[in-house]
Chain A
Amino acid sequence: MIFILYILSFIAFFLLGKAALGILYGKTREKELYWEDGFLTGGILCIGLAEAAHLAALFLHLTFADCVKIFVLLLGVALALAAVTVIWHAGRRKVPEGESREIRMGFSVWTKGERIVFALFFLLVIGQMIAIVAGRFVYMQRDMTVETVNSFLSTNTVYQVNPLTGQPYEAGMPLRLRILCLPTLYGILCKLFGLSAIQVVWTGIPFITLILCYLAYSLLARLLFADSRLKRGCFLALAALLFMAGDYAYGMDGFGLLHGGFWGVTIRGAVLLPYVISLVLRKKHKLAALCVVAEACIVWTLYGFGACIFVAAGLFVTERLIRYIKRRRNGKEEPVCGNS
C-alpha cells in the first residue's frame, strides 16, 4: 500500500501543480518553469487542502471521519479542475515548427563525466531512501506526531485528548499549535490507504519529503549552473553527500531529512526554503507567496511570519540594494540576478 501512496501522491502533485502553474503564469509558464515546479507546487497545494479540512474539523467540532471526507471532496474537486486545466492548456500550446522534442526538453548526448556524477548522485539518494524506508533511524525526541495521528484515529476526533497519554486534556494545548495541519494530513493518509501511523509518519512521508527536497535542489542546480549538466550533477551529488554528513546534530538540514522527514521544520528547511530561494531568484513571486502560506500551515511561526518570508524578503532587498549601488556607480541600471 505504501508504494501506491507514493505513486498516487506524485500523480496528484503533478496534476495539481501543472494546473496551478498554468493558472498563475498562463502562456508565460514555459519560461523558467520546469517539471520540478509542477511537483513542488502540487505538494504545497495538498498542504493547503489539508489545512482547509483540518481547520473545518477543528473549529466546527467535526469528527475525524468528517475531516477525511472534506479532504477527499476538496482533493477530488481540485484534481478534476486540474485535469480540465491541463487538457485545456495542452490544446492551446503551440510547438514551433521544426523544433524537435530533444531541443524542447533540453536533451542531448550525455558525456562520461555527466554519467558518473549523476550515477553517484542517484546511488547516494537510493542509499538515503533505503535508510528511510527501513525506519530504524527516526529521531523521536521532541516530537509527538505519530502519537497525535494515533489519537486522531483512535478517538475519531481532532485534538480532544492528550496524544501522549490518551487522557482528555485538562488545560488544553496552544491554539497556534492546534492550527497546524500535518498530523491531520498524515491521519487522512492512514485512513485512505489503510496504513498504520508508524508506516505513514516514519517511512511514507520522509520518503516523499526526500524526493521533494531533491526536486527543489534540482531547480537550484538549473538556476546556478544553467550552462552545464556536469556542474548540475556535481552540485546535486555534493548536496546529497552534505545531507548524509550533516546529520550530526539536531537542527541540521541532513538530520531533519534523514531522521525526521515528517517534521514541519524539515519540510520547511529541506523543501520550502530551497524552493523559495529558486523562485525569488527566478522572480516567481506568486509561487513564493504560496510557500510562505504553506509554511504557516505546518510550522509554528511568529503569527504568520516565518523563515520563508524572511528569506524571500532578504533576497529581494539584496537584489534592490545591488541594483541601487550599481546605478549609483554606473549611472544606469543593469540586470544582476539569476539568468533573468
Chain B
Amino acid sequence: MWELLTNAWKGWMEYITGGKFAALLIAALLFLWIFREKAQKQLLYYTSLMTALCIFPVSSAFFMKYQTAFYDYQWIWSLVPVTLTIAFGATVFLTKYWEGYEKRRFNKLFVTLFVCAAILLCGSAGAIGWKEQALSEKSENAAKVLKLLDADKEDGEICLWAPREVMEYARAVDGSVKLLYGRNMWDKWLNAYSYDVYKEQHIECYLWMEAACESGELESLAGQEHTNGEKLLSGIDCARAAQGLGVNRILLPENMQKEALLQIEKALGVQARELGGYYLLVLQ
C-alpha cells in the first residue's frame, strides 16, 4: 500500500515536471469559479473535484488501481477533462476581455497573444516531446537493408540477428522477417503484452551485439545487471547460439574489427560480405 502511495506521489511530481498544464488547469478552474455561469456548473464541479482527487495520493492510488496496473500514473488524468477545461477557461477569459474593450484593437491583440504565449510556454512551445531521429528516416534505412536481404533470399524465410537499428524496424516494415529477439528486449514496457520471456542466450546475444556496435571487438564484458554475475561474452559463442536458435542471417556492424570478423567466419564456416553498410553472414 505504501509503495502504491509513493508511486502516486512520484507520478504527480513527474507529471508537473515536464510541462505546466496542471498549473494552467488550476488557473482555468480558479477563473471559472470566479466568473462561473449557471450553465456549466456540472462540468466545473466535476473537474474541480477530480483534479483534487488526482493530486491527492490516496485517491490517485485508488484510480491507479481502477485503471489496472498496465497503465502509469499519467493515465489517471484521462478522468479529468484537462484540455477542455483550459480551453474553456481561456475562451471565457478572452471573450470577456474582448467584449470589455470593443474599440481598442491593440489591447485585444496584446491580451490574445499573451494567452497564446502562456499556453505555449506552459507546454512544449511547439517543439516535439522527445528527442529522436526522424522516424521515417530510421524505418527507411531498415527497409533498405531488408530489401537487400530479401533479394539475397534464395528460398524459405529469413530469421535475422542484427544491430538494434535494423531489428527495431524490421517487423514494422516487413512482417515476413523473423527475428532472434524483438523490441521488447530494450523497450521493457512491451513485455506487458506477452507472457513469453527471453532465454539467457537471447539476452547474451543482444548484449554482445550492442557492445560490438560500439567497439567492434570479438569479446565484451556483460554487466551484472543483465546476466547472473559478470560474464565475458564471445562473438563466436553468441553467433553459434543464434544459429542454434534458428537464425539464418547475421548482420554485423560495419565497424567490426577484421580479426574478429575472420574468427567468426571461421567458426561458422561461412564467408561474410558487405551489404548496405553491414557485414552479412548467410548460415545454412
Interface magnitude class on chain A? 35 or more
Is B66 an interface residue, CB under 8 A from the partner?
yes
Binds B, one of A23-31, A92-100, A204-212, A244-252: A244-252
Complex contact B119–A142 (CB within 8 A): no
Q: State the CA gap A217–B91 with chains docked (Å).
A: 13
A120 to chain B minimum Cβ distance, whole angstroms, is 10
Nearest A-chain residue to B120, judged by Cβ: A245
Choose one: B50, B123, B136, B175; the contact of A242 (CB below 8 Å).
Answer: B123
Complex contact B84–A198 (CB within 8 A): no
Q: State the CA gap A243–B46 with chains docked (Å).
A: 22
The 9 closest A-B pairs by CB, nearest first: A164-B182, A245-B123, A150-B175, A251-B74, A154-B175, A171-B195, A248-B124, A166-B178, A142-B189
Is B122 an interface residue, CB under 8 A from the partner?
yes
Complex contact A311–B79 (CB within 8 A): yes
Q: Which A residues between 219 and 251 are near B, CB-CB below 8 angstroms? A: 220, 224-225, 228, 230-231, 234-235, 238-239, 241-251
B85 to chain A minimum Cβ distance, whole angstroms, is 10
Choose one: B78, B83, B139, B194; the contact of A307 (CB below 8 Å).
Answer: B78
Complex contact B83–A241 (CB within 8 A): no
Binds A, one of B37-45, B230-238, B266-274: B37-45
Is B148 an interface residue, CB under 8 A from the partner?
no
Q: State the CA gap A234–B50 with chains docked (Å).
A: 25
Q: Which residues of A contact B (CB under 8 A)?
A: 113, 134-144, 146-147, 149-151, 153-155, 162-167, 169-174, 177, 196-198, 202, 217, 220, 224-225, 228, 230-231, 234-235, 238-239, 241-255, 259, 265, 268-269, 273-274, 277, 281, 300-302, 305, 307, 310-311, 314-315, 318-319, 321-322, 336-339
Check A337/B42 contact, CB under 8 A, given A172-B194, A231-B91: yes
Q: State the CA gap A265–B130 with chains docked (Å).
A: 19
Is B12 an interface residue, CB under 8 A from the partner?
no
Q: Mark B189-216, 1 if CB is under 8 A from A, else 0.
A: 1100111110000000000000000000
Is B165 an interface residue, CB under 8 A from the partner?
no
- B193 to chain A: which residues have CB within 8 Å? 144, 173-174, 177
- B72 to chain A: which residues have CB within 8 Å? 251
